[in-house]
A and B are shown apart, each in its own frame.
Chain A
Amino acid sequence: MSKKQENKIGLDFKTDWAYAPAPEDTKHINLQKQYDLFIDGKFVKPNSKKYFDTTNPATEQKIAELAEADEKDVDKAVKAARKAFDKWSKISAKERGKYIYRIARLMQERAREFSVIESLDGGKPIRESRDIDVPLAANHFFYNAGWADKLEYAFPNRTPKPLGVAGQIIPWNFPLLMAAWKIAPALAAGNTVVLKPAETTSLTALKLAELIRDSGLPDGVVNIITGAGRTGAAMVNHPDINKIAFTGSTDVGKMIQKAIAGTDKKLTLELGGKAANIIFEDAPLDQAVEGIVNGIFFNQGHVCCAGSRLFVQESVADIVIRKLKDRMETLIVGDPMDKNTDIGAINSKEQLLKIQEYIKIGKNEGADFYQSSCAVPGKGFFCRPTLFLNASQSHRIVQEEIFGPVLTVQTFRTIEEVIEKANNIAYGLSAGIWTDKGSKIFNLSSKMRAGVVWANTYNKFDPASPFGGYKESGFGREGGLHGLMPYLKF
């Protein structure tokens, strides 16, 4: 049976024993053909009368139509939030906490529906939406609900008070989770909210609107409006918003910061990243390879803190790359609804074209291109896991955020060299360090210009842990006590 002969050493992961397709059932979900704007506790028609389509990136089929909010709709939402703020900021903190706990519990009850819709609309594998996105979103509500009546203990002698109306704009990579990151601390701190999800992935936010309506949260405390850049701009420029919280691209973040300059609006920005994932020769290499895979191929690489720049110490570079290539052969790219799928669909055609453009740039720059040999579906937006070996700091693929399953690989020789190279970038959101030596971890983590440093793991999130960046990765923290502060004045 052994097909392998001694003269050709290599592993063959193609076997005649195949896994069974296991597509998640979609019949149990409840989706409408058309969604309106959630303002003041009700779904209302948009003033613009315009609707746009949201599609399934794995099949390119339309799922539903979403309302496009214009300036008047934004104004209506802000007015509703302002009206609700008077009541919401005055009810007892304990009651506020109860409402948030109720949202968390309802989210757990409807977890299956949320994860299916998240995968349908955004293309992420059901394994991730089921095991990470939805449970973590519920946990953020649970965590922040606990703080609602303990703010005076969280910030002793500082009399924390809510800001007012928060305008929140979130990206398409973790639609429900980002909504939770934004809404939960805002509510716990006593603010009211106008939230705009990304135009390609609004469905779970709209399902969250239904859930919030069902939870009995007072009308207008949370308003969810859909639309693209114009809607977001109207929110940013609205005079009666006290705080803008934005997660998304660095370009848009800069535009927002310019737009609100001279106003007294508060701002937090969580922007792009290009994280260094650093493997030392004394690291547990097989587990480090797993960390590389989780770092860059998690959510198709659509992760602002993705470990997209791999630094491997030269003495183990060949072994690590061999192990990584073998591991990549076992990754399954395909139908996001299949429980076996490791890497789902690229979120949109636009994003796929951007990734393909960067792959072209990388090839032209002379880095060594490598992709796994897995099959990809003929329809929908897919990209094989990709490596660029022998990359250098001067390459654009090393400097710029690709936001896809594309990893650049560089080697290093000394600690000083890797610290310099890891920090030699416009971004500073996250970093990963792999070594068996604790002292090396402490040394490096204090020298990384990055908001989050993971040691011997990657892409781990917890509601109690603050998250945010340095430099062009933004400012302000989300999660933990630090995540409450931007929603409070003292």
Chain B
Amino acid sequence: MSTKIILPDFKNTAVIDQVGVEERVARFTTRSIKKSSKLQGLKLTLSMIDLTTLEGKDTEGKVKQMCYKAVHLHDIIPGLPTVAAVCVYPTMVKTAKDALKGSSVKVASVSTAFPSGQSTREIKISDTKYALENGADEIDMVISRGEFLKGNYNFVFDEIAAIKEACGTARLKVIFETGELSTLDNVRKASDIAMYAGADFIKTSTGKISPAATMPVTLVMLEAIRDYYYSTGRMVGMKPAGGISTSKAALHYLVMVRETLGGAWLSNEWFRFGASSLANDVLMQIAKEATGVYQSLDYFSKD
């Protein structure tokens, strides 16, 4: 990646027409995914999940159980992938890391005073370093939405760059909390700022604010990734998070990735779902494809 990157003027990022975005999104949902195409899509979805628990009441016990689920999604059906990663608070990173020893499942930690991001730069950096020292492979940071909405784009840029520096080789996901950014124009602007500041992934939401991930928001971010790729040659990943709980919705997202960025992004290296309940719905669909009948949710473990 020796290309010299020229920073754009973030006050003049591409404009977005919401009506047009919604029309484009509607087209993705009409593609037909059935039988082997569906099974392939569902397995891909499983492999892209960041299994998440981000609650005040999280304990080591809860995290350990979730980590077991991450590796053993549904052992009755052979040939299933593991999820891509588990996503936890920094204090739970060590527990998760130990629980996942020997598997390829990564540990992602939220940081930078997640979910509000209302803290000082020093605290955010030390929050990140703490997670990394405990073994986090990936960092999910939040941007300072207040500063962003004030138009203080340099602040947001510098903060992301500082966290990226703290991350070293760990991959950095940057959460915009699009539900607080209010317009698709802002989503596009935040995407450009984060990618030029060094984000490895851009991510929609914390899951704490509604609306969380939506298809229009994700499409705008995917298009920003595409334009950034054409400008710099660097691939950036995408992670919609929160609110994607059904297989059908997940497949629609994959169609969107396929038709916006192409096949190169269709792997967990470049695309993730941040979700807690999605995995069981996908497993239920996979079991249905295998046996021909739907089983009740009681047959799928809730960890």
Contacts and interface: CB of A to CB of B under 8 A. Distances in A.
A283 B37 CA distance: 37
A6 interface: yes
Contacts of B234: 6
B262 A15 contact: yes
Given A284-B16, A286-B223, A322-B230, A22 B32 contact: yes
**Residue in A4, A12, A14 with the greatest tally of chain B CB atoms within 10 Å:** A4
B254 A127 contact: no
Given A20-B38, A287-B20, A2 B33 contact: no
Contact of B20 (A4, A15, A19, A456): A456
Contacts, number: 104
A436 B15 contact: yes
A457 interface: yes
Q: Of residues A2, A12, A282, A340, which shows the largest number of chain B Cβ atoms within 10 Å of its Cβ? A: A2
B35 A15 contact: no
B60 interface: no
Interface string A8-33: 01011111111111100000000000
B15 A15 contact: no
A21 B33 CA distance: 8
A19 B223 CA distance: 22
A91 interface: no
B197 to A, nearest CB: 20
A481 B23 CA distance: 28
Contacts of A338: 32
Given A17-B37, A287-B16, A287-B24, A1 B269 contact: yes
A330 interface: yes
B193 to A, nearest CB: 18
Contacts of A282: 15
Nearest to A7: B233
B30 interface: yes
A285 interface: yes
A286 B16 CA distance: 8
Nearest to B219: A286
A291 interface: yes
Contact of B263 (A12, A127, A326): A12
B155 interface: no
Given A20-B36, A456-B17, A13 B270 contact: no
Contacts of B24: 286-287, 290
B124 to A, nearest CB: 31
A284 B15 contact: yes
B211 to A, nearest CB: 20
Given A1-B267, A2-B270, A19-B31, A290 B262 contact: no
A290 B23 contact: yes
B259 interface: yes
B293 interface: no
B17 A287 contact: yes
B65 to A, nearest CB: 31
A211 to B, nearest CB: 27
B66 to A, nearest CB: 26
Given A287-B21, A338-B32, A457-B19, 11 more contacts: A2-B235, A4-B235, A15-B258, A20-B35, A22-B32, A22-B34, A284-B15, A286-B21, A330-B258, A339-B32, A456-B20
A3 interface: yes
A12 B264 contact: yes
25 contacts: A2-B269, A11-B264, A12-B262, A13-B259, A15-B258, A15-B266, A16-B263, A17-B44, A17-B258, A17-B263, A17-B266, A19-B37, A20-B32, A20-B36, A20-B38, A282-B15, A286-B16, A286-B21, A287-B17, A290-B23, A290-B24, A291-B20, A339-B30, A436-B15, A456-B17
Contacts of A283: 15
Interface of A: 1-4, 6, 9, 11-22, 127, 282-288, 290-291, 322, 326, 330, 338-340, 436, 456-457
B34 A3 contact: no
A134 to B, nearest CB: 16
A127 B31 CA distance: 10
B259 A330 contact: yes
Which 3 residue pairs of A and B lie closest in terms of their CB atoms, listed nearest first? Answer: A287-B20, A15-B263, A22-B32
B263 A13 contact: yes
B96 to A, nearest CB: 25
Given A4-B235, A457-B20, A11 B226 contact: yes
A19 B19 contact: no
B229 interface: yes
B270 A340 contact: no
B253 to A, nearest CB: 13
A338 B34 CA distance: 13
Given A12-B264, A322-B230, A19 B33 contact: yes
Interface residues of B, number: 42
A287 B235 CA distance: 22
Contacts of B37: 17-20
Nearest to A127: B30
B261 interface: yes
Contacts of A12: 262-264
Nearest to A332: B31
Nearest to A456: B17
B290 interface: no
B135 interface: no
Interface string B37-68: 11011001000000000000000000000000
Interface string B156-178: 00000000000000000000000
A290 B34 contact: no
B7 interface: no
Nearest to B21: A287
Contacts of B266: 15, 17
Interface in B269-290: 269-270
Contacts of A326: 226
A284 B20 contact: yes
A9 B230 CA distance: 6
A326 B41 CA distance: 23
A112 B15 CA distance: 39
B1 interface: yes
A16 B254 CA distance: 13
Contact of B32 (A4, A6, A287, A340): A340
B17 to A, nearest CB: 4
Contacts of B297: none
Nearest to A1: B267
Contacts of A19: 31-33, 37, 255
B123 interface: no
B149 interface: no
A151 to B, nearest CB: 34
Contacts of A1: 264, 267, 269
A254 B219 CA distance: 47
A309 B32 CA distance: 32
B14 interface: yes
Determine which residue in A4, A14, A19, A286 has the highest number of CB atoms from chain B within 10 A of its CB, and name it. Answer: A286
B31 A340 contact: yes
Contacts of B230: 9, 322
A326 B23 CA distance: 18
